Structure 1
Amino acid sequence: AYGPTESTVNITDHHLDGTEEGSVPIGRPFANTQVYVLDSALRPVPPGVTGELYLAGEQLARGYHGRTALTAERFTANPHSTTPGTRMYRTGDLAHWNAHGHLTYDGRTDHQIKLRGHR
C-alpha cells in the first residue's frame, strides 16, 4: 500500500504475485480516490513517462494546521475535476503508469526523507 499522511494513508495498493520484475508497483487507487501523474503544467503524462504524483478525493486532509502558506502550496485546485472547489494534493513523489495500468514509484522531486516519522 502507498499513501502519505495528508490522506487517509492508504491511497493505492498492489498485491504481489511473484511475477514482478524491477521496481514493485505501488498499485492502483482505492475507490473514491483519484491519482494523477502530471507534468509541470499539471497535464497528464503518458504511460511510461515519469511525472509528479497528485492525489484527490474524499480522503484528503484540509491542509496543515497553522501553516496556510504550505497548505496553499501543496493543496491546489483540481483542474481535472468537474466538481467546483475540489482540490488535489501535490505529493512531491515521482511516479509513472506502467504497461499494466499500475503506478510505479520513481523517487522524489526533492531530498526529503522520513526518519522515525519526522520529515
Structure 2
Amino acid sequence: RLAHHLIALGVRPDQPVAICVERSAAMVVGLLAILKAGGAYLPLDPAYPSARLRQVLGDAAPQLLLCDAAGRAALGPEVLTNVI
C-alpha cells in the first residue's frame, strides 16, 4: 500500500525519498516501499544532531520524507514545511 501511495505522490525511478524513523518494523516497511516504488532511499537516523540531518536534507533535496514522531522531533518543524 505504501509503495502505491508513494507512486501516486510522484516517486519516479532513482528519485531520493528520505526516511527518518526509529529502527523498527515500520522502518523496514518504509525502505521496502521506497524500493518497490522505484525510488532511492535516503536513511536519516533520528539520533543524529538536527544540524547534521538538515545538512543532509539540504544536500540531497528530497521531495518526499517518511518520518515518525521521533523523526519529526529530530528534524524540527521548519524542515517539514519544505517536503511532503
Higher strand share: 1
Structure 1 length-normalised TM: 0.24
Which has the bigger relative contact order, CA under 8 A and spacing at least 6? Answer: 2
Larger Rg: 1
